[in-house]
């Protein structure tokens, strides 16, 4: 019996997995003659986003994963492998046989990884509770209900050394202990699935690929702290994640894992999904509570902390998706097994969304303490198009750019903050020499300025002033005193903002000033952008080798700066050019570039 499994996470679907699935469905109709030897099913994210759509053929303990499976390739795979039994080696990205021997062109991508959170992602059908149970799902819950006390669960989580995976890294066991300690009429377990960092999609993949792991983690937490109601606050922009969570919650209720008297243990707990309406600040826990309560998502002053007065002023425990997904594994395998991975103060593993100008972009889970270079080169396969590695951006709008010279820095909660960036939720954007650091700082500040809720003056107005200065610098009107102004504003905003959004908003600017001062000064003094990004500081040039003389750019040009005859190479007169960029957007051949 061969199983054919299509990766149907958002990345896969974007790359065309639906079409692939439909093709396979036509070729392998259920139970029809000739194909009794094959069954078609779906799975979530395998992690190799850069080779999607991915299709796996599973037989007798052997896994073969094919990459870039468009309908044509799907037909070949059915004909030769599924029906014929012959593996098509050229298309194999990863394979593993029963003895654990691995192969395939992309086996390095998985070699450095240790998959705990992603243990089932890309392996089971996320819409089937039976498949989750078949890989040991809900065993941890049974253990928590019948073999452990709330105190011993909390102790186990403490011993594992697990720290909050949302970014701040607060010890999870300690947090649970606080929430357990406070008394309240009701208590809540909240799961923060409002993954708002641009460039981070770890939580979405977990929700889409293994929703039951998150539910199980939350139910265990409810037992530990004595809560009766759970909420998952999920971005409305993640429709597939919401759909799969809804399916999973319904299945869990039916199976007796949610609702009244769970598995006959006497525990009552249920989970509701709340859709976020799109506000980055709602990733901050007190703003998130305000949003669940139906208000504008504005942070509140702490203390009192959520453990004492959280959602609807009741004791609340709030963790993010990845944190909860770790819990079942820890309870089944024991705290020492989890603590064996990682570094002394940062135990376990962390999932990263590897993106940017890296060869192998995707989802990777590595032990804490893995170095930046190992992530970029070992797993990521280095920089695209043979360009030079410049920096990685970690922590999104709250983090910063770490230069390539610090590539040996271990990624954990101790070493990353020392660089001025933060661990963040796991977005890791790789940048090459064609990325302008000043432009990136401006980009992030534009984001936080836009997303500032407006409560604190320093965050609301200070970030706008910083943005204005950066816009000045990137448009060639920067002044030397701007650097000091940025530093002063950064200090003030950090000191006088209530929540992490404001307190960390200046980080991208501060790391740029710390590591890339030369580049900033070239913008200010020489009015040049070394990476050729900032539009006002470059010249627009037509590549004679690519220009076909179609005249489109000349027609689009607002200042008549482009001359040339039909079917002859066109030229831009720099004296007339106003650098509006219309020539680039109008060119069909990619012949116009910035120099």
Partner 1 sequence: MPDKNRDTDFTYRLWRYDGAPGELIPLLQSAQDHFGYIPRRAIKYISTVTNIPESNIYGVITFYNQFRLQPMGEHQIKLCVGTACHVSRSKLLVETVQDELGIEVGGTTEDGIFTLFTVACLGCCSLAPVMMIDEETHGRLTPASVRKILRGIRRQAKQKNQDAQLRAS
Q: Are strands 349-356 and 362-367 parallel, antiparallel or unpaired?
A: antiparallel
440 is a contact residue toward partner 1 (CB under 8 A): yes
**60, 124, 42, 57: which is closest to 89 by C-alpha?**
57
Number of residues forming the site for partner 1 (CB under 8 A): 58
How many other CB atoms are found less than 10 A from the CB of residue 359? 17
293 is a contact residue toward partner 1 (CB under 8 A): yes
Contact region for partner 1 (CB under 8 A) — 86-94, 176-184, 404-412, 580-588?
580-588
Instruction: State the minimum distance, in angstroms, from the CB of residue 361 to partner 1.
Output: 4
481 is a contact residue toward partner 1 (CB under 8 A): no
Binds partner 1 by CB under 8 A, chosen from 204, 244, 404, 455: 204
Residue keyed to tokens 């590539």: 407
Binds partner 1 by CB under 8 A, chosen from 274, 309, 523, 570: 274
SS3 label, residue 103: strand
Number of H helices, E strands in the chain: 25, 19
Contact characters 133-152, partner 1, x per CB under 8 A: --------------------
177 is a contact residue toward partner 1 (CB under 8 A): no
318 is a contact residue toward partner 1 (CB under 8 A): no
Contact region for partner 1 (CB under 8 A) — 90-98, 109-117, 348-356, 469-477?
348-356
Going through 50-168 in order, the beta strands assigned E by DSSP cover 55-59, 62-66, 92-96, 102-103
366 is a contact residue toward partner 1 (CB under 8 A): no
Instruction: State the minimum distance, in angstroms, from the CB of residue 197 to partner 1.
Output: 7
Output the CA angle 500-202-447, nearest 5 degrees.
40
The DSSP call for residue 347 is B
393 is a contact residue toward partner 1 (CB under 8 A): yes
The tokens for 401 are 């750019």
Contact region for partner 1 (CB under 8 A) — 139-147, 196-204, 255-263, 569-577?
196-204
337 is a contact residue toward partner 1 (CB under 8 A): no
Dist CA 212 CA 310 (whole Å): 25
357 is a contact residue toward partner 1 (CB under 8 A): yes
Backbone φ and ψ of 508, nearest 5°: -60, -35
Contact region for partner 1 (CB under 8 A) — 86-94, 294-302, 499-507, 570-578?
294-302
Backbone φ and ψ of 94, nearest 5°: -155, 140
Contact characters 14-43, partner 1, x per CB under 8 A: xx----------------------------
**Nearest CB to partner 1, comparing residues 396 and 420:** 396
How many other CB atoms are found less than 10 A from the CB of residue 239? 12
Dist CA 517 CA 519 (whole Å): 5
Q: Are strands 400-403 and 389-394 parallel, antiparallel or unpaired?
A: antiparallel
**Nearest CB to partner 1, comparing residues 292 and 561:** 292
Instruction: State the minimum distance, in angstroms, from the CB of residue 533 to partner 1.
Output: 8
Contact region for partner 1 (CB under 8 A) — 33-41, 109-117, 120-128, 423-431?
423-431
563 is a contact residue toward partner 1 (CB under 8 A): no
Instruction: State the minimum distance, in angstroms, from the CB of residue 429 to partner 1.
Output: 5
50 is a contact residue toward partner 1 (CB under 8 A): yes
Instruction: State the minimum distance, in angstroms, from the CB of residue 9 to partner 1.
Output: 9
The Cα-based distances of 185 to 221, 340, 548 in angstroms read 17, 39, 74
**Nearest CB to partner 1, comparing residues 176 and 389:** 389
Dist CA 348 CA 216 (whole Å): 19
237 is a contact residue toward partner 1 (CB under 8 A): yes
Dist CA 84 CA 96 (whole Å): 19
Q: Are 368 and 411 in contact (CB under 8 A)?
A: yes
453 is a contact residue toward partner 1 (CB under 8 A): yes
DSSP H/E element including 593 = strand 592-594
Instruction: State the minimum distance, in angstroms, from the CB of residue 127 to partner 1.
Output: 17
Binds partner 1 by CB under 8 A, chosen from 236, 250, 488, 566: 236
Binds partner 1 by CB under 8 A, chosen from 71, 259, 312, 407: 312
295 is a contact residue toward partner 1 (CB under 8 A): yes
- Sign of torsion over alpha carbons 104, 106, 112, 118: negative
Binds partner 1 by CB under 8 A, chosen from 49, 82, 351, 486: 49
- Asked if the bond preceding 304 is cis, omega within 30° of 0, the reply is yes
184 is a contact residue toward partner 1 (CB under 8 A): no
582 is a contact residue toward partner 1 (CB under 8 A): yes
Q: Are 379 and 354 in contact (CB under 8 A)?
A: yes
**Nearest CB to partner 1, comparing residues 279 and 402:** 279
Contact region for partner 1 (CB under 8 A) — 7-15, 212-220, 261-269, 561-569?
7-15
Q: Is 391 exposed, middle or buried (0-12, 13-18, 19+ CB in 10 A)?
A: buried
Instruction: State the minimum distance, in angstroms, from the CB of residue 480 to partner 1.
Output: 27
The tokens for 523 are 């913008």
Residue keyed to tokens 């836009």: 450
11 is a contact residue toward partner 1 (CB under 8 A): yes
Binds partner 1 by CB under 8 A, chosen from 200, 330, 423, 524: 200
**79, 83, 109, 27: which is closest to 362 by C-alpha?**
109
Going through 16-132 in order, the beta strands assigned E by DSSP cover 38-43, 55-59, 62-66, 92-96, 102-103
Binds partner 1 by CB under 8 A, chosen from 28, 57, 429, 438: 429
- Asked if the bond preceding 53 is cis, omega within 30° of 0, the reply is yes
Instruction: State the minimum distance, in angstroms, from the CB of residue 321 to partner 1.
Output: 13
Instruction: State the minimum distance, in angstroms, from the CB of residue 219 to partner 1.
Output: 22
Instruction: State the minimum distance, in angstroms, from the CB of residue 74 to partner 1.
Output: 19
- Beta bridge partners of residue 366, listed in sequence order: 350
294 is a contact residue toward partner 1 (CB under 8 A): yes
Alpha helix ranges (H) inside 475-572: 481-496, 500-504, 507-515, 517-521, 552-556
The tokens for 311 are 């959602």
Instruction: State the minimum distance, in angstroms, from the CB of residue 330 to partner 1.
Output: 27
Dist CA 103 CA 92 (whole Å): 8
The residues binding partner 1 (CB under 8 A) are: 10-11, 13-15, 49-50, 52, 196-201, 204, 236-238, 274-275, 277-280, 291-297, 312, 353, 355-357, 361-362, 393, 396, 427, 429, 431, 435, 440, 443, 447, 453, 556, 581-582, 584-590
């Amino acid at each position: 019996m061969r199983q054919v499994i299509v990766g149907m996470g958002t990345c896969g679907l974007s790359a065309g997995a639906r079409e692939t699935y439909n093709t396979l469905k036509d070729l392998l109709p259920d139970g029809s003659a000739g194909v009794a030897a094959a069954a078609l099913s779906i799975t979530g994210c395998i992690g190799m986003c850069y080779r999607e759509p991915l299709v796996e053929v599973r037989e007798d303990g052997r896994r073969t994963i094919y990459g870039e499976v468009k309908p044509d390739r799907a037909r070949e795979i059915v004909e030769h492998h599924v029906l014929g039994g012959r593996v098509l080696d050229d298309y194999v990205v990863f394979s593993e046989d029963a003895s654990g021997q691995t192969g395939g062109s992309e086996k390095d991508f998985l070699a450095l990884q240790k998959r705990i959170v992603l243990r089932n992602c890309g392996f089971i059908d996320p819409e089937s509770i039976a498949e989750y149970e078949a890989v040991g799902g809900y065993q941890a819950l049974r253990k928590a209900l019948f073999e452990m006390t709330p105190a011993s669960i909390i102790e186990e989580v403490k011993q594992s050394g697990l720290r909050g995976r949302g970014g701040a890294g607060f010890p999870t066991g300690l947090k649970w202990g606080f929430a357990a300690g406070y008394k309240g009429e009701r208590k809540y377990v909240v799961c923060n699935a409002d993954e708002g960092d641009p460039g981070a999609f770890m939580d979405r993949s977990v929700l889409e690929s293994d929703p039951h792991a998150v539910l199980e983690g939350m139910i265990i937490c409810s037992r530990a702290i004595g809560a009766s109601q759970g909420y998952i606050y999920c971005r409305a922009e993640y429709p597939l994640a919401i759909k799969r969570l809804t399916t999973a919650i319904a299945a869990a209720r039916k199976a007796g894992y949610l609702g009244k008297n769970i598995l006959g243990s006497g525990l009552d707990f249920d989970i509701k999904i709340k859709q976020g309406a799109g506000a980055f600040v709602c990733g901050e826990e007190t703003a998130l509570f305000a949003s669940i309560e139906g208000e504008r998502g504005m942070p509140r002053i702490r203390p009192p902390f959520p453990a004492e007065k959280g959602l609807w002023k009741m004791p609340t425990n709030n963790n993010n998706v990845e944190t909860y997904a770790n819990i079942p594994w820890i309870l089944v395998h024991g705290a020492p097994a989890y603590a064996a991975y990682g570094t002394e103060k940062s135990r376990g593993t962390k999932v990263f969304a590897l993106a940017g100008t890296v060869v192998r972009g995707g989802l990777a889970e590595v032990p804490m303490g893995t170095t930046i270079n190992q992530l970029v080169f070992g797993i990521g396969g280095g920089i695209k198009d043979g360009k030079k590695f410049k920096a990685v951006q970690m922590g999104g709008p709250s983090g910063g750019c770490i230069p390539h010279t610090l590539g040996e820095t271990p990624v954990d909660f101790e070493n990353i903050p020392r660089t001025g960036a933060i661990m963040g939720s796991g977005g890791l954007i790789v940048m090459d020499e064609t990325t302008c650091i000043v432009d990136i700082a401006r980009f992030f500040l534009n984001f936080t300025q836009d997303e500032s809720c407006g409560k604190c003056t320093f965050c609301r107005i200070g970030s706008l002033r910083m943005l204005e200065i950066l816009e000045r610098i990137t448009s060639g009107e920067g002044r030397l005193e701007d650097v000091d102004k940025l530093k002063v504003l950064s200090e003030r905003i950090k000191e006088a903002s209530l929540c992490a959004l404001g307190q960390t908003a200046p980080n991208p600017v501060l790391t740029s000033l710390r590591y890339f001062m030369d580049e900033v000064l070239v913008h200010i003094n020489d009015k040049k952008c070394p990476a050729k990004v900032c539009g006002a500081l470059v010249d627009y040039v037509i590549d004679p080798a690519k220009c076909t003389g179609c005249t489109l750019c000349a027609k689009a040009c607002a200042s008549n700066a482009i001359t040339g005859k039909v079917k002859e190479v066109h030229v831009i007169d720099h004296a007339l050019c106003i650098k509006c960029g219309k020539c680039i957007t109008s060119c069909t051949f990619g012949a116009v570039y910035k120099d």
